[in-house]
Amino acid sequence: MSELVGRVLKDLLEQEGDALLESPQRLETVLLDLCPDEHRAIRLILLGLAGQAAESWRQSDHADLNQITTALSERFQTQFQIAPRFGQWIAEVWGIALGFLPLSLEPRNIFAEAEEEYRYALRAVLTQGPLTDSLQTELKRLQKNLLIDETDASRIAAEVQAEKTQQAQAPAQDISWQPMFKNSLEMHFVKIAPGSFSMGSPDYERQREDDETQHSVTLTRAWYMQTTPVTQAQWQAVTGHNPSDFKGPDLPVENVSWNDIQTIFLPRLNALGEGSYRLPTEAEWEYAARAGSTQAYYLRDDASQLDARAWYNNNSLFQTHPVGQKQPNAWGLYDCHGNVWEWCQDGYHGPYTADEATDPLGAAGGLGRVMRGGSWFCNASACRSAARGYMPPETRIRLIGFRLVRVDDSLLLGGQT
């Protein structure tokens, strides 16, 4: 979410002027207060301040902006021994903050990109056998160049090792193309094949929460999962009104409570005579969202490609977006990461146990009802496949929507489940 820090810097300079630049410590304090999760981006901004980025832009006299950006980028790379992406980011962010460059709306998670570059290099090295002294030296050089500290380097190494183990041990899952179904409301559903998976997150997963205890889950029956969150047009067709804060027929419906879904929407939808529908269980939701992936995000341990699959606070412009615009997973499910949190059937009762489970359904009650997937407002970490949230079932906020499961698929495939 590094673009947000740059925008905050621009706003601060417009409000306080050059006085803010005279105290690096105060600038750091203010930025950390406003963007507490962006330590690395703030570090780059302070490197730019130390490297006289502001003075260099102001002395440019509006010459060729691309040439100035390139020159500053190369200077910062050499001066601070950092990767090209970081030098360019410093040059561009200071140019934008000072009004020399237009405000960019193209999001890039440069730190996730750097982690993926390091992860790729580590994978390549480990395939060659034991680490030699020269390879270790080269990895250390790359680690420094990519601004990856020892904690993150250890975590990435654990992820790569676990990835190799999981690939060798993971049970086979059928994630081939599956039959589709569409009802009269243009709700599309895809058949999800049964199988087993590791639910939750491993201890080394970055920014995991304590309630994500990893455990083995088996789902014994196939089901039909809606390919997108329920839209405002679909909600309005069933209920006759649209409660959403962000308006648009193809936007996900939000500002609906778990109780609204259970007492208003589902009874009316099921009365249409097109089958029976319900919310997914939390296990069904995660199994379907993963589609065979064991990583933190779909097919990735980092957020370097999350922009292609999710609307979250790095690219959403802090609003919802039409469903189905991002890349789907292998089962053809869209928006499993971001856009809106999605209500699940389960009650929330704190951390999972480590016990194996078959067709689990969290008991009713508890602290609230589970929601999954993250939203347009969330950091990348809340959009991880294992990330959990919960709210009281009467909660109506613009962050939460839902998707459905079609219960009785015997009519679709002659009793095959």
* pLDDT tens-digit series, residues 216-269: 999 999 999 999 999 999 999 999 999 999 999 999 999 999 999 999 999 999
Beta-strand pair 368-372/223-226: unpaired
- Cβ neighbours around 94 below 10 Å, total: 28
Domain span including residue 185: 180-406
d(CA 7, CA 26): 17
Concatenated DSSP letters for 271-329? TTSS--EEPPPHHHHHHHHHTT--SSBTTBSSSTTGGGT-B-TTTS-SS---TT-S---
132 and 32 co-located in one domain: no
Is 59 in the same domain as 144? Answer: no
Q: Is 271 in the same domain as 313?
A: yes
pLDDT in tens, the chain (417 residues): 456 788 889 889 988 888 888 889 999 999 999 888 788 889 999 999 999 999 999 887 667 888 889 999 999 999 999 999 899 999 999 999 998 888 764 556 788 788 878 887 887 777 666 778 888 888 888 989 998 989 888 888 887 877 666 555 544 455 555 668 899 999 999 999 999 999 999 988 888 999 999 999 999 999 999 999 999 999 999 999 999 999 999 999 999 999 999 999 999 999 999 999 999 999 999 999 999 999 999 988 888 789 989 999 989 999 999 999 999 999 999 999 999 999 999 999 999 999 999 999 877 788 999 999 999 999 999 999 999 999 999 999 999 999 999 986 554 544 333
* Same domain (yes/no): 276, 217: yes
Residue 175 lies in a domain: no
Two tokens, residue 155: 């975590």
In a shared domain, residues 128 and 203 = no
Report if residue 413 sits inside a domain. Answer: no
Domain termination residue (choose one: 76, 97, 118): 97
Residues 266 and 321 in one domain: yes
Same domain for 119 and 209? no
- Do 345 and 255 lie in one domain? The reply is yes
- In the DSSP assignment, the letter for residue 252 is B
Q: How many domains does the chain have?
A: 3
> What global pTM score does this model have?
0.67
Q: For residues 212 and 386, is the Cβ–Cβ distance under 8 A?
A: yes
> How do residues 353-364 score in pLDDT, each as one tens digit?
999 999 998 777
Same domain membership, residue 347 and residue 260: yes
Same domain, 187 and 158: no
With respect to residue 276, please indicate whether it lies within any of the assigned structural domains. yes
